[in-house]
Structure 1
Amino acid sequence: MARRRNKILVPEARSGLDALKARIANSQNPEDAKFEAAEEIGVPLKEGYNGQLTSYQAGKVGGRLGGSMVRELVKMAQENLSKKQ
C-alpha cells in the first residue's frame, strides 16, 4: 500500500499551519493529551516503548489529537465570521 502523505495545497500557508500546531500543542501538555486520549478510548498506551499497540490503536489515539486541531480551526472560523457580521 502506498504511503499517504499530507501535502499542503497552498505552500504559503506553511507558517500559519505551524503557528496553529504550536498553539494547540501549547494549550495543553502534548504528552498529557496523548495519554488522556488513549485512556478515554481504552488504548493501553504507556511511557516509553509501545510496540505492542496495533496500528489501529495508534491511529485512534492520533485521530483524537488531530480532532483537537480541527476543533480549534472551527472555533477560529466561527470567530472570524462573527467579526465580519
Structure 2
Amino acid sequence: MMAGRKNNILVPEAREGLDRLKAKVMNTTDPNAAKYEAAQEQGIHFNKGYNGDIKAKDAGKVGGSIGGSMVRELVKMAEQQLKNKNNLQ
C-alpha cells in the first residue's frame, strides 16, 4: 500500500481492479505513476517521494482529476452493462 493513502475501499479485494482502472484512465501502465501524470497535465510540480509542501488545492486538483476520470469510466461501464442486459431480454 502506498504511503499517505487514507481512503478506505468498501471491498478490499477490489483494490487491484481499481488500480488497473486508474492506470487505464490515465493512459499509463503503472497506477502509481497516475498521480504524476495527472499533476503534469495540471501543471503542478509533483516529486516522486515527499510532497508534503504542495498546497492542498493543488493536491485536490491531482486527486480530483484522477477520481473524476475513474467515476466517468465506471458510469460508462455500468451504462454499457445495462444496455447489454436490456438487449438480452
Q: Please, what TM-score do these two structures have when normalized by structure 2?
A: 0.65
Q: Structure 2 regions of 5+ residues with no counterpart?
A: 1-6
Is the 1:24–1:68 contact (alpha carbons within 8 Å) kept by the matching residues of 2? no
Task: Kindly indicate whether structure 1 or structure 2 has the higher relative contact order, using CA contacts under 8 Å at least 6 residues apart.
Answer: 1
Q: Please, what TM-score do these two structures have when normalized by structure 1?
A: 0.67
Q: Which residue of 2 aligns with 1:37?
A: 38
Task: Give the C-alpha shift of residue 19 in structure 1.
Answer: 6.2
Matched-pair identity in %? 45
Give runs of ≥4 in structure 1 deviating > 4 Å. Answer: 15-20
CA–CA distance in 1 between the matches of 2:57 and 2:19? 26
CA–CA distance in 1 between the matches of 2:53 and 2:8? 30
User: How many aligned residue pairs are there?
Assistant: 77
RMSD, aligned CA: 2.7
Q: Structure 1 regions of 5+ residues with no counterpart?
A: 1-5
Deviation per residue, 1:4-33 (Å, 9 max, x gap): xx788xx7xx36854652441464312221
